[in-house]
Amino acid sequence: MKGKTIYFRLLAAFALVLADENKGLAFQAPERPNVILIITDDQGYGDLGIHGNPHVQTPVLDKLGRESLRLTNFYVSPVCAPTRSSLMTGRYSLRTGVRDTYNGGAIMATEEVTLAEMLQSTGYRTGIFGKWHLGDNYPSRPGDQGFEESLIHLSGGMGQPGDFTTYFQGDRSYFDPVLWYNGEQKAFQGYCSDIFTTEALTFIEKKAAEPFFLYLSFNAPHTPLQVPDKYYERYKDLDPSAGFDEDGRPFPEMSERDKEAARKVYAMVSNIDDNVGRVLNKLEELDIAENTVVIFMTDNGPQQARYVGGMRGRKGSVFRGGVRVPFFLRLPDRLEGNRDISTSLAHIDVLPTLADLCGASLPTDRKIDGKSFVPLLQGRDAVGFDERSLFFYWTRRYPELYTNVALQKGKYKLVGNTDFDAEVGEFDLFDLKEDPYELNSIVEANKPVARALKSEMDAMIADLTQSPHLNQAQRVIIGSEQENPVYLNRNDAGGERGIWTQEEVFGMWKVKTLEGRYNIRFKFIKPLETKGKMVLETNSVIIQEQIEAVPTDEITLENVYLPEMEVDLIPHYVTEGRSIFPLWMELEKISDP
């Protein structure tokens, strides 16, 4: 049992029993709307027609935007896993243990109370389809964090080395994939975004008589940029750098590679647009559109250089091009649509807002960084938003003082891209009201303002970097009934910085093993051509075996005894002066000791 609260588990079970007995009558009152949260991956603010892009064809999303409450100053983290952890918890990502997109830093602490768990405890059915990216093993998978139905890929993206069921498909990794349905591998036919949507529609049909929470989390248009030909044909002759009247706003210089990437991204976005249309049509068909919250957003700015509404920066940057994204919210039966809300809001605000709309209770045993913006949605004044600060950072592994870090408060934004001991004059200060494109630093003329913001930034960094979940390793549990066998993938491997597809790299996995005997299998990126020794370091015991049968890309050690322990598992194949790290390792418990 998780340490987060037995109360939530018992309340969820009780609510679901009531829902089954009453076929939703107990919870289908108007104050309990369905919730559909749609998020896309690496789609920037400028990748929508409604935001001034004349090239991308997004008629469904543009119409949804016109019908919705549009949060025109909505912010996220510069990269995906931190955004997703904040979205799920209402907390800054460092509090949740999420500090990176890989390197073992994208595993959210199991003690976190997620949006799915919060709504499930109030009687909602819950499902995720698409990208999770907050832990691929027990106890951090979607099914361990409140989703009763899940269909996901592994790691940060399909075709990445962490998603080993699609990695070897190369330039076809988005087509006919092996995905993970409720924790088990399952083969599908078709294009990934179409598959996730089709399965989400089935979920909606099954749960339409009860309140449900659907998290439709597209991995597109993230790289690798793969899309069905019929969508690419729309854009193959396009010059995505032409046709913009920027009226003094900066426009990124686009190489030929950037232009080709933009064509593929726009094609992938058009496919998403069609799939969002399928979801909206299903709500109409089932006559539940009026009582369904539909949210559309993206997780960060674009990865490649292209139109981003004139803003500075893109994915990975704390400038607005990296962190300002679309956010549309529609709830026809109680919120007047087609309105802009210009208040600065963020991913941390989504969970408390949905708690407010759905009549759910926020956790009271932890700090929730976000605030409900329901008063803004209802056209009322919201106290406290203009006075609060929003914190942004992005560097690999852990925050670096003061690299790519920002604090925004009211109209001012302080940005650090300097040394750990820099004076305040080495930071940049922007007046976003006068300079929304962050082109002219005013720090020299406004040092008192900058000092006050830096003091607040320092306090925020000190607070977040001392978070227990950040400083205590999030360990995968090996040998449990909940997951056996366990596959440890490269996305969750720690060790050297930037472990990806290297062969000779130091890597390890932080795990907790349960006592027993195991078969342990190692998979390598390329076949091992020379004889050597397979080594697995486990605390004070090193397990090793001489390997004579080569070439091979798999090695299995059978009937290995492992005690109960918290350990860094360090596997490597030693041959002719080389030490080769596996792509993944599988541990299957075959018996108790």
- Sheet harboring 178-181: ordered strands across? 184-187, 178-181, 149-152, 125-130, 212-217, 34-40, 292-298, 327-330, 69-71, 339-341
Which residue in the list 51, 55, 133, 153 is annotated as catalytic?
Answer: 133
Tell me which DSSP letter residue 424 carries. Answer: G
As given in the structure block, the two tokens for residue 541 are: 């015991």
As given in the structure block, the two tokens for residue 373 are: 């913006």
In terms of Cβ atoms closer than 10 Å to its own Cβ (0-12, 13-18, 19+), residue 224 is: middle
Q: Are 153 and 180 in contact (CB under 8 A)?
A: yes
Q: Are 180 and 186 in contact (CB under 8 A)?
A: yes
192 noted as active-site residue: no
Q: Are 32 and 123 in contact (CB under 8 A)?
A: yes
Backbone angles phi, psi at 315, to 5 degrees: -45, 135
In whole angstroms, give the CA distance from residue 144 to residue 452.
42
As given in the structure block, the two tokens for residue 563 are: 């005690």
- Report the Cα 320 to chain-centroid distance in Å: 19
Contacts of 333 (CB under 8 A, 6+ apart): 30, 33, 290, 291
133 noted as active-site residue: yes
In whole angstroms, give the CA distance from residue 228 to residue 315.
25
Which residue in the list 80, 153, 222, 347 is annotated as catalytic?
Answer: 80
In whole angstroms, give the CA distance from residue 525 to residue 503.
7
SS percent in the chain: helix, strand, coil, step 5 = 25, 25, 50
Strands 389-393, 516-528: parallel, antiparallel or unpaired by DSSP?
unpaired
Q: Are 581 and 502 in contact (CB under 8 A)?
A: yes
Q: Are 343 and 385 in contact (CB under 8 A)?
A: yes
DSSP string for residues in 43-96: --TTSSGGGT-SSS--HHHHHHHHHSEEETTEE--SSHHHHHHHHHHSS-HHHH
- Residues with catalytic function: 80, 133
